[in-house]
């Protein structure tokens, strides 16, 4: 099948479509920012949503969500905090306006929960919670004010934060309308080739994922232009990712904070959420089941399942392969014979998770005692990790086998999707050159 080449993909600055961001389709905005209906026309609310994070003292709040999973409404704030300042007794409260003039406030204390993968860095991820006095408020608020009372100096600091939704009475219908299966990709950075990115989207869609949510930290202007175009076409969602501190002060560009932000943003719209990097694919190895059908079949046997774990195998280029190909994943069909549990990746039901880790569920919710993680048998599905093999405690890079699952089952669908997108982008951006 005819393929397009990497070397000709270069977008000049004058070819960039600059208006895409200001003309997002309504459904795109909703997936990235699941708004309450009564808040959609609020200009102040929209302005708050455009901020990458909200700052109070040494606390940086990326997003806040209405969570009523226990029947007692709470705010959940996905945050980054200087852990050393926790010793200074941050005195935070959530304040909810009420009354005809919204000039009176109910105040609730903030409860601090530290994420499990901060790795002793100066700054780390936290989930901050506070009760919502829903019986005293006329409606679910569009926003609230978080305050910090500095007892030692008598200073009162405050900032307003927009509130997003995780559920509603129409939640199931809206999830069906927007696709049941999403994928969260942690912060993108570095020299990512546009063609690499397009291959990832094309193969991921071919494998059964409906929608992809990308956290964008530091990428080229070429790739950024493509992402904005694809977002406008409702193919993906972009979440700009800004660090309030130097990147070496937080673990891996704030990866844990980003994936939990994605967990809560996707909670309203998606029945299932997967988590992976650009060089990873969760692939069914059961010819009778797509990935979606596989996990739904497993779930039908045990309603306690909140997450599915997939073991990982490293895929490298087959030593017998000849020549070059645009579709390197089709030539990298030589993989470790064993699989790694340590490097497992997840597909979760987001509404049953409080905190997700990189390779495991950190905390299920609200029924943490009964919810379980189910490990998918390697005969049924594994993570294909396309990179140089790195030995782990449970996987040695000494024995390899041929695995042509993607070439045998997804070759045509993958290449067709990729070539179609490449043709469209060449036309839109007026790119010329041999293909």
pLDDT tens by residue, 68-106? 999 999 999 999 999 877 656 688 999 999 876 777 899
Per-residue pLDDT at 18 exceeds 90: no
Burial of 46 (0-12, 13-18, 19+ CB in 10 A): middle
Greater confidence (100 vs 117) lies with: 117
Q: State the pLDDT at residue 266.
A: 95
Query: Could you tell me the domains of the chain?
Result: 37-165 (2.60.40), 172-428 (3.90.550)
Q: State the pLDDT at residue 406.
A: 94
Digit-coded pLDDT (tens) for 249-284: 999 999 999 999 999 999 999 999 999 999 999 999
Which tokens belong to 317?
């280029």
- Say how far apart CA 34 and CA 55 lie, in whole Å: 21
Q: Are 146 and 93 in contact (CB under 8 A)?
A: yes
Q: State the pLDDT at residue 91.
A: 87
Q: How far is CA 41 from CA 26, 45, 66, 93, 98, in A?
A: 12, 8, 19, 27, 19
Query: Which residues does 137 contact at the CB level (< 8 Å), separation at least 6?
Result: 96, 98, 106
Per-residue pLDDT at 230 exceeds 60: yes
Q: How far is CA 97 from CA 53, 144, 145, 226, in A?
A: 21, 7, 8, 41
Average pLDDT over residues 190-216: 94
Tell me the three state secondary structure of residue 159: strand
Q: How far is CA 361 from CA 253, 343, 366, 392, 407, in A?
A: 20, 13, 13, 20, 31
User: What are the backbone dihedrals phi and psi of residue 156, each rounded to the nearest 5 degrees, phi first?
Assistant: -120, 115
Pick from 330, 5, 17: which is nearest to 193 by CA? 5
Q: What is the pTM of this model?
A: 0.90
Average pLDDT over residues 156-176: 72
- Say how far apart CA 424 and CA 422 lie, in whole Å: 5
Per-residue pLDDT at 389 exceeds 70: yes
Digit-coded pLDDT (tens) for 406-417: 999 988 899 999
């Amino acid at each position: 099948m005819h393929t397009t080449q990497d070397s000709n993909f270069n977008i000049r600055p004058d070819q960039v479509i600059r208006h895409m961001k200001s003309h997002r389709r309504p459904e795109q905005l909703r997936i990235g920012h699941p708004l309450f209906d009564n808040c959609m026309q609020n200009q102040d609310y929209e302005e708050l949503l455009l901020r990458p994070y909200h700052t109070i003292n040494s606390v940086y709040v990326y997003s806040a969500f209405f969570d009523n999973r226990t029947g007692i409404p709470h705010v959940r704030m996905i945050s980054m905090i200087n852990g050393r300042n926790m010793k200074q007794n941050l005195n935070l409260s959530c304040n909810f306006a009420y009354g005809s003039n919204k000039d009176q406030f109910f105040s609730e204390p903030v409860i601090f929960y530290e994420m499990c993968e901060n790795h002793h860095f100066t700054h780390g991820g936290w989930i901050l919670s506070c009760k919502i006095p829903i019986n005293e408020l006329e409606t679910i608020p569009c926003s609230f004010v978080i305050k910090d009372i500095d007892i030692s100096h008598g200073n009162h600091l405050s900032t307003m934060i927009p509130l997003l939704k995780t559920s509603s009475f129409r939640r199931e219908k809206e999830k069906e309308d927007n696709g049941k299966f999403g994928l969260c990709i942690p912060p993108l950075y570095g020299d990512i080739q546009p063609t690499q990115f397009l291959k990832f989207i094309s193969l991921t869609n071919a494998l059964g994922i409906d929608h992809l949510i990308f956290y964008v930290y530091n990428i080229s202007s070429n790739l950024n232009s493509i992402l904005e175009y694809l977002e406008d076409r409702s193919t993906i969602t972009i979440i700009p990712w800004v660090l309030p501190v130097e990147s070496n002060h937080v673990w891996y560009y704030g990866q844990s904070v980003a994936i939990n932000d994605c967990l809560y943003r996707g909670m309203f719209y998606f029945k299932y959420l997967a988590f992976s990097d650009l060089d990873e694919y969760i692939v069914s190895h059961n010819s009778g089941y797509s990935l979606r059908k596989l996990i739904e079949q497993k779930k039908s046997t045990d309603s306690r399942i909140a997450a599915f774990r997939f073991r990982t195998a490293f895929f490298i280029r087959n030593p017998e392969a000849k020549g070059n190909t645009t579709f390197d994943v089709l030539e990298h069909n030589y993989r470790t014979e064993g699989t790694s549990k340590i490097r497992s990746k997840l597909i979760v039901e987001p509404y049953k998770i409080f905190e997700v880790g990189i390779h495991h569920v950190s905390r299920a919710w609200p029924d943490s005692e009964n919810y379980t993680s189910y490990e998918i048998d390697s005969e049924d599905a594994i993570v294909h990790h396309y990179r140089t093999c790195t030995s782990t405690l449970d996987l040695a890079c000494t024995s390899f086998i041929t695995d042509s699952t993607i070439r045998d089952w997804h070759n045509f669908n993958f290449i067709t999707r990729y070539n179609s997108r490449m043709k469209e982008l060449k036309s839109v951006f007026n790119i010329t050159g041999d293909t």
